Structure 1
Amino acid sequence: MAPQSTLFELYAADGVKLSGQAWLPPAPRAVVAVVHGIAEHAGRYAFLADRANQCGLGVVSADLRGHGRSPGERSYVERFDDYLLDVDALMAKARELAAGRPLFLMGHSMGGAIALRWLAQRKQPVAGLILSSAALKIGGDVPRLLVALAPLLSRWLPHLRGTRLDPATISRDPAAVAAYVNDPLVSLLAPPARTGAELLQAMEANRAAAAGLALPVYLFHGDADRLTDPDGSRDIHERWGGSDKTLRLWPGSRHETFNDLDREGVVAELLGWILARCA
Structure 2
Amino acid sequence: MRTADGFDLAAQAWLPPAPRALVALVHGIAEHGGRYAWLAAQANAQGVGVVTVDLRGHGNSPGERSYVERFDDYLLDVDVLWARARELAQGMPLFLMGHSMGGAIALRWVAQRRQSMAGLILSSAALKIGGDVPRLLIGLAPLLSRWLPHLRGTRFDPAVISRDPAAVAAYVNDPLVSLKAPPARTGAELLAAMEANRAAAAGLDLPVYLFHGDADRLTDPDGSREIHAAWGGSDKTLRIWKGSRHETLNDLDRDAVIAELLDWVRAHVANDAGK
* TM range, smaller chain: over 0.9
Residue aligning to 2:148: 157
- 1:190 lines up with 2:181 in the alignment: yes
> Post-superposition shift, 1:15?
0.9
Provide structure 1 residue ranges, at least 5 long, that are not aligned to the other structure. Answer: 1-9
- Say which SS state the counterpart of residue 218 (structure 1) adopts: strand
CA distance in 2, matches of 1:249, 1:227: 15
> Post-superposition shift, 1:26?
1.5
Residue aligning to 1:6: none
Match of 2:65 among 74, 82, 96: 74
> Post-superposition shift, 1:27?
2.4
Match of 1:124 among 91, 109, 115: 115
CA distance in 1, matches of 2:133, 2:37: 28
Deviation readout 1:221-277 (Å, 9 max, x if unpaired):
000000000000000000000000000000000000000000000000000000001
State the TM-score, normalized to the length of structure 2: 0.98
CA distance in 2, matches of 1:27, 1:151: 48
CA distance in 2, matches of 1:165, 1:76: 17
Provide structure 2 residue ranges, at least 5 long, that are not aligned to the other structure. Answer: 271-275
- 1:221 lines up with 2:208 in the alignment: no
CA distance in 1, matches of 2:139, 2:84: 38
Quick one: which amino acid aligns to residue 79 of structure 2?
D
Quick one: which amino acid aligns to residue 164 of structure 1?
R
Match of 1:176 among 137, 162, 167: 167
Deviation readout 1:10-31 (Å, 9 max, x if unpaired):
1111110000000001221000
Quick one: which amino acid aligns to residue 239 of structure 2?
R
> Post-superposition shift, 1:210?
0.2
CA distance in 1, matches of 2:39, 2:233: 26
Residue aligning to 2:76: 85
Residue aligning to 1:252: 243
CA distance in 2, matches of 1:152, 1:265: 42
- 1:204 lines up with 2:195 in the alignment: yes
- Say which SS state the counterpart of residue 34 (structure 1) adopts: strand
Quick one: which amino acid aligns to residue 10 of structure 2?
S
Residue aligning to 2:47: 56
- Say which SS state the counterpart of residue 269 (structure 2) adopts: coil
CA distance in 1, matches of 2:210, 2:122: 5
Deviation readout 1:59-91 (Å, 9 max, x if unpaired):
000000000000000000000010000000000
- Say which SS state the counterpart of residue 72 (structure 2) adopts: helix
Q: Percent identity?
A: 82
Match of 1:231 among 218, 222, 232: 222
- Say which SS state the counterpart of residue 155 (structure 2) adopts: coil
- 1:109 lines up with 2:88 in the alignment: no
Residue aligning to 1:11: 2
Deviation readout 1:171-218 (Å, 9 max, x if unpaired):
000000000000000000001000000000000000000000000000
Which range is displaced more, 130-139 or 25-34? 25-34
Following TM superposition, the consecutive aligned residue runs of length 4 or more in structure 1 with deviations greater than 6 angstroms are none
In the comparison of the two structures, how many residue pairs are matched? 270
Deviation readout 1:129-163 (Å, 9 max, x if unpaired):
00000000000000101000000000000000011
CA distance in 1, matches of 2:149, 2:117: 34
> Post-superposition shift, 1:103?
0.2
CA distance in 2, matches of 1:270, 1:111: 17
Match of 1:133 among 116, 119, 124: 124
CA distance in 1, matches of 2:245, 2:117: 28
CA distance in 2, matches of 1:175, 1:208: 38
Quick one: which amino acid aligns to residue 60 of structure 1?
V
- Say which SS state the counterpart of residue 201 (structure 1) adopts: helix
